[in-house]
């Protein structure tokens, strides 16, 4: 075992590095186009293969697709470098298992965690469970189910997938349809760029008369409202929306939401078309876009300011339906990180439906749940008793086990599965970022500040925490602690923090 002084130095170094990372996150936002800057820098130093350049291109240049983020092997090699041999008379795993049980059992017995509590702690390098208490028991996961949603989306679509919003012209050139692709991150800036490019493409086709504007949300099926009904935590789930249907300037968390995200977006788009020199006749109305032929050539390429990209295409002969313009979301890796860091319910539901589309299931709550379940099964994960009623965790009918969550995190740490890496890099950092920014700040839990990275979960009577921590001997552990019938989040959350902090090196 390392001397206490060694543990303190290791912990202090990690906290210092993560404090710098938190400063960068504060300046650049909670997610950094695919991978946090400090994480990227660490991977570069450890792996020697270089990192991705995530900054946007200079003004006026063509859109730039970020290179893939550094894969997991370099980081895991750095963690393995500090592993010490087992003490005489026992293996590393059996010694650690006994130590963990002695520490975790009394913490898990905290009355603040209610009468229902399960736990799983796994060494991600070996895949061995080091501690378990009801680990296979399905529980209501709350927002920790977003870990499952994110992993399934990355597995089905890959980290470079982007969600497109397009405009299509009818064969007679008199109707333009705004087609939703399911991108809740579409914002006013990108919508304006799409309108400008659409106007240019219409003019290139010789359109001079007023056009009729329709909008197509047919990509999604089933109810638009979540089973919990209208709620400030989630907009109506539709394939076309702007700024997640928020009616204020917020970017995360609860907010007043419009009851008609698609209609509002189409109305705003009509105004932007008018500003770009195209007169829109009447009020935008729902309508299915005609099937568009692929348009040869391109009249121009624009980059929308922000995280997405935008391309405009057109042809001079308005004889067939054709795509006029297109705007794309940031890569899926970025969307996953944002989903996990800020616990973004709208994005989580979008990721679940994108998974459904990739697996040819209906893009509905039911179809998305089946697609996510099936994708996790393809990853060889333990799904006994699992039920995925939604992608966000707002539905109390969701059921996952602690073993499933640690299994997903272990897959994401596997060097052979670099596509799943954003599941780890998107986890909030204890005491520093996202939904963990205000936690790990008192008592024994402070030992986890900067070292614990985890997804939170909170519903009335449900409190959960699942993530990773690096131990004093350099091992990356995955953990999941799920508690049900808790009396108060104000006592349950600190209890969960103490559990995860117990896995970190002592100060």
Active centre residues (catalytic)? 143, 146, 343
Rg of the chain over all Cα atoms, to the nearest angstrom? 24
Residue 338 is encoded by which pair of tokens? 């944002």
Q: Is 211 left (phi over 0), alpha (psi -120 to 50) or beta?
A: beta
Q: Count H helices, E strands: the chain?
A: 13, 12
Please list the alpha-helical segments (H only) found in 343-488. Answer: 345-358, 365-378, 402-412, 422-425
Considering Cα of 187, then 261, then 180, then 267, what sign does the dihedral take?
negative
For Cα atoms 460, 466, 472, give the angle at the middle one, nearest 5 degrees.
140
Contact assessment for residue 449 and residue 185, using Cβ atoms and an 8 Å cutoff: no
Q: d(Cα 191, Cα 417) in Å, to the nearest integer?
A: 35
**3: Cβ–Cβ under 8 A, 6 or more apart, which residues?**
none
Q: Where are the beta strands (DSSP E) in 334-491?
A: 452-459, 462-470, 476-484
> Could you identify the residue written with the tokens 């679509």?
157
Which backbone phi and psi does 160 adopt, to 5 degrees? Answer: -95, -5
Residue 113 CA from chain centroid, whole number = 27
End-to-end CA distance of the chain: 15
Assess contact for 256 and 247: CB atoms under 8 A: yes
Q: How far apart are CA 25 and CA 37, in angstroms?
A: 8
Q: Kindly list the distances between the CA atom of residue 332 and the CA atoms of 68, 80, 150, in Å, as whole numbers in the listed order.
A: 11, 29, 9
Q: Are 338 and 344 in contact (CB under 8 A)?
A: yes
């Amino acid at each position: 075992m390392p001397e206490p002084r060694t543990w303190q130095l290791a912990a202090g170094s990690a906290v210092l590095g993560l404090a710098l990372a938190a400063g960068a996150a504060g300046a650049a936002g909670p997610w950094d186009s695919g991978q946090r800057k400090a994480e990227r820098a660490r991977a570069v130093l450890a792996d020697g293969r270089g990192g991705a350049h995530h900054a946007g291109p200079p003004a006026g240049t063509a859109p730039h697709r970020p290179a893939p983020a550094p894969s997991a092997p370099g980081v895991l090699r750095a963690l393995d470098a500090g592993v010490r041999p087992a003490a005489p008379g026992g293996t590393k795993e059996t010694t650690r298992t006994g130590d963990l049980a002695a520490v975790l059992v009394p913490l898990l017995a905290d009355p603040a965690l209610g009468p229902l509590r399960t736990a799983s702690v796994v060494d991600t390098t070996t895949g061995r469970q080091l501690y378990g208490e009801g680990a296979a028991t399905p529980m209501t996961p709350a927002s920790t189910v977003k870990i499952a949603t994110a992993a399934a989306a990355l597995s089905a679509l890959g980290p470079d997938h982007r969600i497109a919003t397009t405009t299509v012209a009818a064969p007679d050139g008199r109707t333009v349809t705004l087609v939703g692709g399911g991108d809740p991150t579409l914002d006013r800036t990108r919508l304006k760029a799409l309108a400008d490019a659409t106007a240019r493409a219409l003019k290139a086709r010789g359109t001079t008369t007023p056009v009729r504007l329709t909008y197509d949300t047919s990509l999604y099926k089933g109810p638009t409202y979540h089973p919990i009904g209208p709620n400030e935590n989630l907009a109506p789930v539709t394939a076309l929306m702007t700024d997640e249907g928020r009616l204020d300037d917020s970017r995360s968390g609860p907010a007043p939401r419009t009851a008609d995200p698609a209609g509002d977006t189409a109305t705003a788009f009509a105004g932007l078309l008018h500003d770009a020199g195209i007169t829109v006749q009447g009020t935008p109305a729902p309508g299915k876009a005609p099937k568009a032929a692929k348009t040869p050539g391109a009249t121009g390429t624009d980059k929308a300011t922000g995280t997405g990209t935008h391309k405009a295409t057109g042809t001079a002969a308005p004889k067939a339906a054709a795509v006029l313009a297109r705007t794309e979301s940031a890569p899926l890796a970025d969307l996953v990180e944002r989903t996990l860091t800020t616990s973004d319910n709208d994005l989580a539901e979008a990721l679940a439906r994108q998974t459904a589309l990739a697996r040819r299931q209906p893009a509905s709550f039911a179809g998305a749940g089946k697609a996510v379940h099936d994708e996790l099964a393809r990853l060889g994960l333990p799904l006994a008793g699992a039920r995925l009623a939604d992608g966000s965790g707002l539905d109390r009918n969701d059921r996952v086990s602690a073993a499933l969550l640690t299994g997903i995190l272990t897959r994401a740490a596997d060097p052979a599965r670099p596509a799943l890496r954003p599941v780890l890099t998107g986890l909030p950092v204890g005491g520093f970022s996202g939904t963990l920014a205000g936690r790990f700040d008192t008592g024994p839990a402070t030992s986890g500040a900067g070292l614990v990275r985890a997804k939170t979960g909170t519903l009335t009577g449900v409190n959960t925490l699942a993530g990773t921590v690096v131990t004093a001997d350099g091992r990356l552990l995955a953990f999941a602690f799920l508690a049900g019938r808790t009396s108060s989040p104000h006592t349950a959350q600190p209890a969960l923090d103490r559990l995860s902090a117990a896995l970190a090196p002592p100060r």
